[in-house]
Structure 1
Amino acid sequence: MADAASDGPSGSDDLLSCPLPGSFRFEPSPLWARLRESSPVVRVRTVSGHVAWLVTRYEDVRAVLSDKRFSRALMIAPGAPQAGVTKPRRGSLPTMDPPEHTRVRKLLTAGFSHRYLEGLRPWIRDLAERLADDLAAADTPADVRALFSQPLPIRVICQILGVPYEDRERFAAWSASVYGLSPDEADAADDSYDQLEAYLGRLLAAKRVELRKGRAPDDLLDQLIGASDEHGRLDEEQLVAFGLNLLIGGFETTANQLGTFVASLLGGQGEWRTLAAHPDLVPGAVEELLRLHRLSETGQLRIATEDIELSGTRIRGGDGVIAAIGAANRDPGAFPDPDRLDITRSPNPHLAFGHGPHFCLGAHLARIELQEALRTLTRTFPGMRLAVPTAELGWRRALISGLERIPVVCGPRQD
């Protein structure tokens, strides 16, 4: 049985780097498959210089995400391993464990209930159609990321939270910096984090003034202010952290997923036209695309609270553990023919939204956005094609990764 303790930041060694060599391409690094087969729990060095365990098999990743002995709250402890160049900040859901996590998550459930979100579906569909108009009117080639996949989730999360859409360029730039993976830009990333917190703080303060003057609450940030001021369920640090987490998480993930999905379908074996002809297949296609295409070249970090064994390897208390969801979702032990895009795959128990207590709060919102976006694009532009080969598409080097640009030729429009 293998056994090793975590190290802090240090110099060169023989450890694999994380992200793995060969990352930031359309297909995953071939090392994912090799590690799953022969070294499913292996020590790696992160971009911050810390050593952590990388876990790649489906069952092990599922266990790390759900077992209470793998903590998120310990990520903010002094000296804790980091997956990126910025240290997580206290007060938000991603840095809490039950029972505190359970208590505060309940404050957000109404704003992300299926009933409420399904009520937004017609508005999201209409938004997708208006953005498709922008694509049709753009010069050729048109950039799907700039004109469609990024604006859609930003406008949606601004609507839900009550964040001014006109501020999108500022907070999107700060967000991109926070998710950066270059150690040379760590100070800039921390500064961007500070800027985001200050921005949310000012916005919340302005909303609080309006609410005390008698304006009725009409968005999720208003509700959180009420939970803080009227019921004492959130302190100010948590209030800002929640708003920041919801804002960034509400658009970065979906924007990158949607862009990747469009490129994948256009570069596939006719799936784009299949969905144009059979829109009822879109929900299943979304699930399969979520499984097949990783959102991160690293994974979700946890800290072991005690000694634990995974796949014959002993992880010591205090060690960092990275659950590689992208690798787990291509595990042949869980998914037959896992590297093939099968838009009719069923069942499809992928882990794209996580698992356990930290299952993504916005999963249903993301599904609605992705479904309505793909229905609109395939129906409106059944002949859309990529303007460059898939292999020439460039990738953003970030914790939440995606394509930099997606140039397309829209083709004849169908209304």
Structure 2
Amino acid sequence: MTQEITTPSPDRVAPRPAARVVPITVEPPAPAPAPPPPIREWPALDLDGPEFDPILAGLMREGPLTRIRLPHGEGWAWLATRHDDVKLITNDPRFSRTEVTRRQVTRLAPHFEPRPGSLAWADQPDHNRLRRPIAGAFTVGAMKRLRPRAQELLDPLVDAVLRDGPPADLVERVLEPFPIAVVAEVMGVSESDREQVHTWTRQIISMCGGAEAADRAKEGMYGWIAVTIRARRGSTGEDVLSRLGAAVGRGDISEEEAVGLAGPLQIGGEAVTHNVGQMLHLLLTRPELMARMRQRPDERGPVLEELLRHIPHRSTVGLARIALEDVELRGVRIAAGDPVYVSYLAANRDPAVFPAPDTIDPDRDPNPHLAFGNGPHYCTGAVLARLQTGLLVDTLLDRLPGLRLAVPPDQVAWRRRTMIRGPRSLPVTW
């Protein structure tokens, strides 16, 4: 028996499914990371007058984040110049001050010996612990109570200028001795020690004598502070050295930390001298600004704030921070371990925040300048500095009618090889 095998006719063959086209997605290659900006050398220029540092101006034009190398230390550092970036970095715990004390980073100062207890190098929560014992000495209320005494210290200096007659060097006769006397009052420095303390502070912030001279001055001043604090354990005084002595006695901070806290506060009066010197130089060389101050004395406060924004307080930059982890900022990767500087001077000239930033606008409002810093490291003595600035300008303008420079503006001598800028002398007549 034969089995019949049949095959389907062609017209009865089942159609084959059409081939499905699967699109193949080809990922474009990841863009190569942008090359880091070039490293720019930034020497400390000796500039005459309140001129904005041309190197910093060039760095601002290059971009929001650049790289710099300063005269001392090692390597390079990032530099942030935009107002928003400066505020972010100075208030972000990912950027550490303490970490700088363990490394040699590029810097302006030839000497670098951070001391335990210094607020400048403390991160949170240590920063708050260290600041707490002295905070009460710098409150708005404390400064209101200090104001009459500060005026008492200022008036005899101006009396002597008027008695001797013109010309007079305002730096020598008023701008130096007044902040020294006020800071000494706040710190609790005895009258007999004040001139020696000033000599030490002047040498510490100067670069003229080199590292050895600065080290000798630091050794002298910090040794004196240690002895004074030790003698004031258990004190109930309201001055800073007494507060620190009491805090050491209670065990809140160590003696070494107390000394590290007191030193920078003692030096702070130098900044007022030179900042006010710059402000007065601007007033004395801009008749329309001086006229505004004289004609509208009740509105001097906002003008002084604008001058604080405008003047170049310092040479190059202040203290660095170290990135503790990778941080992406404006499309730039700041790697963990990279040193970072901010420029408050550049932030105060950011056109996105301050229209016509190079112009002194006495009616500028708002004026969110960063002349006293930002974040946890905002200047402890900011209220004190404003008090002294206002008293100096008001008293000199009100008591010296027709105040003007006694020499052409280009003959005013400016400080050299220093971290804090300002006129070395300010010869005036009236």
Alignment of 1:153 onto 2:182: no
**1:263 & 1:171 partners in 2: Cα distance?**
27
Decide which of 158, 169, 191 is 2:216's aligned counterpart: 191
Matches within 5 A, 1:53-92: 53-87=78-112, 88-92=114-118
Alignment of 1:44 onto 2:71: no
Partner of 1:270: 288
**1:85 & 1:168 partners in 2: Cα distance?**
27
Q: Which moved more, 1:76-85 or 1:145-154?
A: 76-85
Decide which of 141, 147, 150 is 2:167's aligned counterpart: 141
**Judging changes above 3 Å, is the alpha-carbon distance between structure 1 residues 207 and 106 closer, same or farther for their aligned structure 2 residues?**
closer
Deviation per CA, 1:178-212: give whole Å up to 9, x if none: 22346x7122222222222112112223334xx5x
Letter in 2 for 1:195: G
Letter in 1 for 2:274: N
Alignment of 1:382 onto 2:382: no
Q: Whose radius of gyration is greater, 1 or 2?
A: 2
1:216 to partner: Cα distance: 4.7
**8 Å CA contact retained: 1:256, 1:401:** yes
Secondary structure of residue in 2 paired with 1:296: coil
Tell me the TM-score normalized by structure 2. 0.85
Secondary structure of residue in 1 paired with 2:322: strand
Matches within 5 A, 1:203-282: 203-208=228-233, 216-229=236-249, 231-249=250-268, 251-282=269-300
**1:235 & 1:81 partners in 2: Cα distance?**
30
Deviation per CA, 1:145-167: give whole Å up to 9, x if none: 11111111111111111112443
Partner of 2:206: 180
**2:207 & 2:63 partners in 1: Cα distance?**
25
1:22 to partner: Cα distance: 6.5
1:101 to partner: Cα distance: 0.3
Deviation per CA, 1:264-312: give whole Å up to 9, x if none: 1111133223222322112111111110002112223222222223333
1:89 to partner: Cα distance: 2.3
For structure 1, the residue ranges without an aligned partner over 5 or more in a row are 6-12
1:32 to partner: Cα distance: 2.5
**8 Å CA contact retained: 1:207, 1:222:** yes
Partner of 2:413: 394
1:28 to partner: Cα distance: 0.9
**Judging changes above 3 Å, is the alpha-carbon distance between structure 1 residues 89 and 138 closer, same or farther for their aligned structure 2 residues?**
farther
Identity of aligned residues (%): 35
**1:52 & 1:178 partners in 2: Cα distance?**
24
1:31 to partner: Cα distance: 2.9
Letter in 2 for 1:408: V
**2:62 & 2:332 partners in 1: Cα distance?**
12
Q: RMSD of aligned C-alpha atoms?
A: 2.3
Matches within 5 A, 1:249-328: 249=268, 251-300=269-318, 301-328=320-347
**2:182 & 2:420 partners in 1: Cα distance?**
19
Q: Which moved more, 1:132-141 or 1:144-153?
A: 132-141
1:80 to partner: Cα distance: 4.2
**Judging changes above 3 Å, is the alpha-carbon distance between structure 1 residues 185 and 383 closer, same or farther for their aligned structure 2 residues?**
same
**2:82 & 2:411 partners in 1: Cα distance?**
30
Letter in 2 for 1:261: M
**2:362 & 2:244 partners in 1: Cα distance?**
39
**1:121 & 1:105 partners in 2: Cα distance?**
23
Decide which of 32, 36, 41 is 2:56's aligned counterpart: 32
Letter in 1 for 2:403: M
Deviation per CA, 1:340-364: give whole Å up to 9, x if none: 1122221110000001111111111
**Judging changes above 3 Å, is the alpha-carbon distance between structure 1 residues 316 and 343 closer, same or farther for their aligned structure 2 residues?**
same
**Judging changes above 3 Å, is the alpha-carbon distance between structure 1 residues 313 and 372 closer, same or farther for their aligned structure 2 residues?**
same
**Judging changes above 3 Å, is the alpha-carbon distance between structure 1 residues 168 and 348 closer, same or farther for their aligned structure 2 residues?**
same
Letter in 2 for 1:374: V
Partner of 1:360: 379
Tell me the TM-score normalized by structure 1. 0.88
Secondary structure of residue in 1 paired with 2:42: strand
Secondary structure of residue in 2 paired with 1:109: helix
